[in-house]
Amino acid sequence: MPFQKEFEFPSDEELTANDVNISSVYLKAGAIHYAKYCEKENDEFMLCKRELKDPRKCLKEGKKVTNCAMKFFCEVKKHCLDEFNQYADCLYKSSATMSYRYCKKTQGIFDDCMLNKMGLQRPPFGWASEIHIHDTDRPKPEKKIHYFPNTPDKLPESDFEIQEPRFGRTF
């Protein structure tokens, strides 16, 4: 990937963050509750990434997302570890695609634990695809006006006459 001369790479301290070191089956098992728990941090990161179009400027928001994920999975481990492990084990062993449809009983047990011990109710079906309004403290990015140095101030006058096509319009 080519870089311009004035491109500044982030320092190692800026790039260093704790990883959420769990396997994909556990991420999938906790995904919907994680999305609800860390909604504000995820929305803030996605807004930054979308508006600024420069991932270097969103490293702070990315670290907040990672910290929120770590906090969420630590809370799940503290309050609902057995139910979470049963649900993840069911997802892992029931099908090659880790389909939710074979694990509704263990999902219900895990959801009850999340509601009773952490106060997180499972969002209704389709919640993630609904429109959510996100309030933020971040200022709007400035509109960048593109400058093209070789454009003429005005197009030259021409006495060129536009002729009608001989056989009519073709569309």
Cα pseudo-dihedral 73, 37, 104, 83, rounded to 10: 30
pLDDT digits (tens, 9 = 90+) for 129-158: 999 898 998 888 888 888 888 887 887 787
pLDDT digits (tens, 9 = 90+) for 42-67: 999 999 999 988 888 899 999 999 99
Decide which of 16 and 22 is more confident.
22
pLDDT at residue 158, rounded to an integer = 79
Structure tokens at 138: 């971040």
- Residue 121 pLDDT > 80: yes
Among candidates 21, 20, 34, which has minimal Cα distance to 128? 34
Specify the pLDDT at position 1. Answer: 61
Q: Specify the pLDDT at position 170.
A: 66
From CA 70, how far away is CA 6, in angstroms rounded?
Answer: 35
Q: What are the CA-CA distances from residue 51 to residues 41, 56, 74, 141, 145 (Å)?
A: 15, 13, 31, 7, 15
**Which residue matches tokens 């906090």?**
71
Ranges of each domain in the chain: 17-129
Q: Which residue type occupies 69?
A: A
For residues 61 and 45, the answer to whether their CB atoms sit within 8 Å is: yes
Q: Give the whole-angstrom CA distance, residue 62 versus residue 69.
A: 11
**pLDDT tens, residue by residue, 78-112:** 999 999 999 999 999 999 999 999 999 999 999 99
**pLDDT of 26-47, one tens digit each?**
999 999 999 999 999 999 999 9
Residue 115: pLDDT band (50, 70, 90) is very high
CA–CA gap between residue 160 and residue 157 (Å, rounded): 9
